[in-house]
Structure 1
Amino acid sequence: MTVQTKKQYEELNTKTAVSYLINLGLIKTDEETTVAEIGDGNLNYVFHIISQTTGRSFIIKQALPYAKVVGESWPLTLDRARIEASALKEAAKVVPELVPKVFHLDPDLALTVMEDLSHLTILRAGLIAGNQYPLVAEHIGKYLAHTLFTTSTFGINPQAAKKLAVTYSNPELCKITEDLVFTDPYFNCETNNFEEHLTPRVHELWQDKELKKEVAKLKHLFLTKSETLIHGDLHTGSIFVSETETKVIDPEFSFYGPFGFDIGAFLANLIMNLIAQEGHQQDSEQKEDLQNYLLDTIEKTWDIFTSEFKKLWLAKSIEPFSELEGYVEEVLTDIWQDALGFTGCKMIRRMIGLAHVLDVDSIESAEIRLRVQTSIINLGRKLILERKQIGGVLELVSTVEGAYS
């Protein structure tokens, strides 16, 4: 009997990344290859390997045992690589066209070999550049409905869901979200990172007891509402797009959490980009056209999500109570209200907390940047406080329009 021994973790480089693919048999020794380390995130190495001989290409993503944004003083679990690859495979069961294909997972080296998506554009970069993607709302709405429904107790029995929740236990990365999204921005914490011109507004926020009480409730939901397997970090930097394709990547923050969290994260990033267009589009007609597109994307994403969710509810729900008239509408109302609250939290943390968004930080004019940052903070606060009064997506669209017009 052969006993497999655990490999010792070591960081790959451009040379050993190619050797790794050769050992897997994905490329041959005599193939001419090019390789580059292209990771620009906070937590991982990403290697892009292309065989000039066959034209095949691959991505190797390797988790680091610390956060790159801070350094080795912030250690992180390597198990997140397993969680990410497993979450991609789970999503591929229901929406294979919307996630990259996983070729190999190596839990010892904390790496995943996956499909190369370099022919696509990161959604955040595309939106900053003023591009429009006609199918992204349809695709993300479908992704959200199918991934969230099928891993909830509406789609699988509670025992299976509990076992999956154990498999996706992710306390270290959850703590990052707990701290950076729900706690630190509301206190004078070292992790906070904001421009000096925002100081008066931030100090007001720290004294805002009404807001802090509502954020505390949303944090409690995040900590305790284990409804479904969520992506955990679904921002526009985690989505590749073209006019015809959409691929969701980077679910390393996945765990069993609230239905509304992924929805809120995506909506927050659309809204921040929309408001930030004041600093990117010089032509008023082009700016208005792009902002209208983003408002339409917000509306369509929620409409597609609810439509797909209801179809799944009728066709595949295993919950006997799902036959009750009006129950699905009440479930969707709860999801909507949670999503709005999480949207607001995500917006505020990106202006005050450790990790910002390029949509705003790349605005050259300090005057415009301050207006944008302040508008985002104020709208985020409004969404948190009024999440139970904003009755639907059209009312959200109207609320967003009022924040920048």
Structure 2
Amino acid sequence: MATTLKQAYQPLNEQTVVELAKKLELFTDYQHIEVHEIGDGNLNLVFRLIDSVTGKSIIVKQALPYAKVVGESWPLTLDRARIESHSLKKSAEFAPEHVPEVYYTDHHLALTVMEDLSSHVILRKGLIEGIQYPHLAHHIGTFIAKSLFYTSDLYLHPYEKKELVQTFINPELCKITEDLVFTDPFYDIDTNDFPSELQDAVSELWTDTELKKRAAALKYKFLTRAEALLHGDLHTGSIFVTETTTKIIDPEFAYYGPQGFDIAHFFANIALNYAAHSFHISDPLKRSDYQGYLLGVIKDTWETFSDQYRELWKKEGVEAATKLPGFEEEILSGLFTDMIGFAGCEVIRRTIGLAHVEDLESIGDFNGQIELKKRVLKLGSDWIKKAESIKNIDEFITYIRSV
């Protein structure tokens, strides 16, 4: 297989992606190759190539130089393809079972060839349909614990850690997060998107000085704390699942940031799904059962994460501070508080910001959807303003129940 094509960048199509596969010798026979453009995201082209005879298949993902949701007026760096491939490869060093295998990368063409996960479903869609995944909490908790520990100063030599920080400098995509998660939803800015029926509730957020100060403090942590390598956008649309497996995809927002960020985004999106099932499941008993499962996912994920983080700290910590009695509890306590605030920002931005979630948007009862969104906005606001007073995962879950 070639190591690089050394071509000038140009977007692929269904014909040129087959030509690429031939040059890279990805298949032995090309007479029966079927190509499907399956990308439904905002930033990339995604092709699935399958040999209809042997069944062998691959995914070719290519970054676009602009955001599809807006168009060429919103340019984006192609370097995010390098970030994504490096992140997947780094994760494969400590959690290969939870990321797709990378077969080939080309930074000139901003593309990655990787394992086809068509046997999996996007977690968000599965959760909207009310499907339970018994291993999800353990898998996500394990993945985040290993990701944070093995890429931090707790485990790495300072030189290696700082070299990784440099490798994952991701200013353009971080700026998107800085704006869309931490700034725009709290001000009257054009990127916000919500129906007029929510205007009063949104205006209340925009005039809440204390809320805006807390959100600004969280943004400052995002800007300045290079604690560990993050996925950067770990929502339920970035996770593929089956009943027994969990795969984390799309880490193009990866960078070094505060440890509470990824788990916060996962919890916020589970909470939004919990809220949406007030309308998605009409049968009270089935709804109660499924919402109970979702709250169990949050609790079990946190407990798996914190237990494994402590275990890694105890057995593999190399930083001198890991030998100080009780210091890990101080770190986890701060991480937990940060997580609550970050989750609040994610809940708010997914409700009134640029990128909404299907969980809420697919609710057919418009008036019900509006009322639910008002409650969700209050939930996010409470989490941001009361983060320091919420002391454990059960209290965090109590807020979700209130929705």
| One-letter amino acid matched to 1:325 | P
CA distance in 1, matches of 2:321, 2:189: 45
CA distance in 2, matches of 1:30, 1:243: 33
Aligned match of 1:18 = 18
| One-letter amino acid matched to 1:123 | L
Q: CA deviation at 1:46?
A: 0.5
Aligned match of 1:275 = 275
- C-alpha offsets along residues 226-263 of structure 1, whole Å, 9 cap, x if unaligned? 10110000000000001100000000000010000001
Runs of 4+ aligned structure 1 residues displaced above 6 Å come to none
Instruction: Name the SS for the 1:355 alignment partner.
Output: coil
Q: 2:30–2:51: 8 Å Cα contact kept in structure 1?
A: no
- C-alpha offsets along residues 45-83 of structure 1, whole Å, 9 cap, x if unaligned? 110111112211000110000000100000000000010
Q: 1:278–1:368: 8 Å Cα contact kept in structure 2?
A: no
Aligned match of 1:225 = 225
CA distance in 1, matches of 2:121, 2:5: 40
Aligned match of 2:150 = 150
Identity of matched residues, %: 50
Aligned match of 1:381 = 381
How many pairs does the alignment contain?
Answer: 400
Aligned match of 1:77 = 77
CA distance in 2, matches of 1:386, 1:362: 30
Aligned match of 2:109 = 109
Aligned match of 1:134 = 134
Instruction: Name the SS for the 2:45 alignment partner.
Output: strand
Q: 1:168–1:256: 8 Å Cα contact kept in structure 2?
A: yes
CA distance in 1, matches of 2:133, 2:11: 36
Q: CA deviation at 1:371?
A: 1.8
Greater Cα shift, 14-23 or 306-315: 14-23
- C-alpha offsets along residues 182-209 of structure 1, whole Å, 9 cap, x if unaligned? 0001111011111111111111110000
Q: 1:31–1:52: 8 Å Cα contact kept in structure 2?
A: no
Aligned match of 2:319 = 319
Instruction: Name the SS for the 1:14 alignment partner.
Output: coil
| One-letter amino acid matched to 1:61 | K
- C-alpha offsets along residues 58-115 of structure 1, whole Å, 9 cap, x if unaligned? 0011000000010000000000001001000000000000000000001011000000
Instruction: Name the SS for the 2:74 alignment partner.
Output: strand
Alignment of 1:61 with 2:61, yes or no, is yes
CA distance in 2, matches of 1:212, 1:30: 56
Q: CA deviation at 1:29?
A: 4.2
CA distance in 2, matches of 1:334, 1:159: 25
Alignment of 1:244 with 2:247, yes or no, is no
CA distance in 2, matches of 1:345, 1:6: 41
Q: CA deviation at 1:274?
A: 0.3
Aligned match of 1:90 = 90
The CA RMSD measured in Å over matched residues stands at 1.0
Alignment of 1:210 with 2:210, yes or no, is yes
Aligned match of 2:253 = 253
| One-letter amino acid matched to 2:113 | V
CA 1:287–1:13 in 2, change beyond 3 Å: closer, same or farther? same
CA distance in 2, matches of 1:281, 1:195: 24
CA distance in 2, matches of 1:286, 1:127: 14
Instruction: Name the SS for the 2:380 alignment partner.
Output: helix
| One-letter amino acid matched to 2:109 | L
Q: CA deviation at 1:374?
A: 1.0
Aligned match of 1:125 = 125
Q: 2:135–2:245: 8 Å Cα contact kept in structure 1?
A: yes
Instruction: Name the SS for the 1:113 alignment partner.
Output: strand
CA distance in 2, matches of 1:304, 1:18: 43
Greater Cα shift, 277-286 or 105-114: 277-286
Aligned match of 1:334 = 334
Aligned match of 1:367 = 367
Q: CA deviation at 1:28?
A: 2.8
Q: 2:5–2:106: 8 Å Cα contact kept in structure 1?
A: no
Greater Cα shift, 370-379 or 24-33: 24-33
Aligned match of 2:100 = 100
Q: CA deviation at 1:6?
A: 3.9
CA distance in 2, matches of 1:160, 1:385: 37
TM-score (ref. length: structure 1): 0.97
TM-score (ref. length: structure 2): 0.98
- C-alpha offsets along residues 269-300 of structure 1, whole Å, 9 cap, x if unaligned? 00000001112111111111110000000000
| One-letter amino acid matched to 2:89 | K
CA 1:46–1:30 in 2, change beyond 3 Å: closer, same or farther? closer
Q: 1:264–1:339: 8 Å Cα contact kept in structure 2?
A: yes
CA 1:355–1:225 in 2, change beyond 3 Å: closer, same or farther? same
- C-alpha offsets along residues 137-182 of structure 1, whole Å, 9 cap, x if unaligned? 0000000000111000001022211111111000000000000000
Aligned match of 1:305 = 305
Q: 2:22–2:30: 8 Å Cα contact kept in structure 1?
A: no
Instruction: Name the SS for the 1:325 alignment partner.
Output: coil
Structure 2 gap ranges (5+):
none
Alignment of 1:346 with 2:346, yes or no, is yes
Instruction: Name the SS for the 1:386 alignment partner.
Output: helix
CA distance in 2, matches of 1:18, 1:307: 46
Alignment of 1:295 with 2:295, yes or no, is yes
Aligned match of 2:52 = 52
Aligned match of 2:196 = 196
Q: 1:170–1:255: 8 Å Cα contact kept in structure 2?
A: yes
Q: 2:390–2:396: 8 Å Cα contact kept in structure 1?
A: yes
Q: CA deviation at 1:5?
A: 8.4
| One-letter amino acid matched to 1:139 | H
Alignment of 1:393 with 2:396, yes or no, is no
